[in-house]
Amino acid sequence: MKWTPGGMSEDVEDRRGQGGGGLRGGPVGIGVVLVLLVLSLLTGRNFLALVDPNAIEGDDQTTSSGPVASSPEEDRLAQFVSFVLNDVQQTWARLLSNEYRKAKLVLFRDATRTACGVGQTASGPFYCPGDEKVYIDLGFYDELKQRFGASGDFAQAYVIAHELGHHIQHLRGIEGQVRQLQEARPAAANALSVRLELQADCYAGIWGHSTAERKILEAGDVEEALHAAASIGDDRIQRMSGRGVQPETFTHGSSAQRVEWFKRGFESGDLNACDTFSGS
């Protein structure tokens, strides 16, 4: 993929220097802090030392980051993620015009606070509609390459584009409607989740269509994205874990489904091609 390394986007929050995301037992309410303060005054012991200042609810969690220890390779990867974030958002701003509102992307290590609870590296990249932010530990890309065999910069870009696809669903009200349906129909929760994830794959394909139109793709890029989509299909992950394939437990879709819906978006560049909720 053609791109030029540069600075970081203003829409990136770099929390890698916080060490565990600023967490020490999770967020702490102001009421708890007041109780500890009273105990400190009564006993002469500093109970407030038990609390990480970054974990106090209501504090600005994005500004108290220390120096980031990073290798040149990780710095380049962070800049690439920043470039992709900007490019995907500019694409959607053109497609949705006044409907689009920018998301933020948070770089973290190990764990970090989010409006959706504590985000952890083990969960992989994710989007939180509560704060409209994408969260990613750059170490995920090592796992994508080493465990799943999906390498290449466009495979990495696909991951960001997919998560921003969830942002589009949030802005268009699709995500909220699906959550309501899942609560009303618990037995269909997994099937609805699959449709939501496949639509995000299709939206990622729409962005890919834009990159092809602007001639910033290089030979093999599309294959990298398709391979990444196939590598993280539910059926493949279940086989890798030594379990039998159980379609009723799928939450993201099979490898074939993920490839198919990315291709639909990529080949059409049309939002109307991404209706995963119609039909069987």
What is the residue-wise DSSP string for the chain? Answer: ---------TTEEE-GGGSGGG-SSS-B-HHHHHHHHHHHHHHS--GGGGS-GGGBTTS-TTS--------HHHHHHHHHHHHHHHHHHHHHHHHHGGG----EEEE-SSEEEETTEEEEGGG-SEEETTTTEEEE-TTHHHHHHHTT---SHHHHHHHHHHHHHHHHHHHTTHHHHHHHHHHH-GGGHHHHHHHHHHHHHHHHHHHHHHHHHTT---TTHHHHHHHHHHHT-HHHHHHHTTPPP-GGG-SS--HHHHHHHHHHHHHH--GGGG-TTS--
Whole-number pLDDT of residue 138: 93
- For range 1-15, the mean pLDDT: 92
Q: Is the pLDDT of residue 2 over 50?
A: yes
pLDDT digits (tens, 9 = 90+) for 114-149: 999 999 998 899 999 999 999 999 999 999 999 888
Confidence of residue 48 (pLDDT cuts 50, 70, 90): very low
Whole-number pLDDT of residue 18: 79
pLDDT digits (tens, 9 = 90+) for 151-197: 899 999 999 999 999 999 999 999 999 999 999 999 999 999 999 99
Confidence of residue 248 (pLDDT cuts 50, 70, 90): very high
Q: Is the pLDDT of residue 38 over 70?
A: no
Average pLDDT, the chain: 86
- For the chain, the domains span 70-274
Whole-number pLDDT of residue 23: 52
Confidence of residue 20 (pLDDT cuts 50, 70, 90): low
What is the residue-wise DSSP string for 191-221? Answer: HHHHHHHHHHHHHHHHHHHHHHHTT---TTH
pLDDT digits (tens, 9 = 90+) for 221-236: 999 999 999 999 999 9
Whole-number pLDDT of residue 175: 97
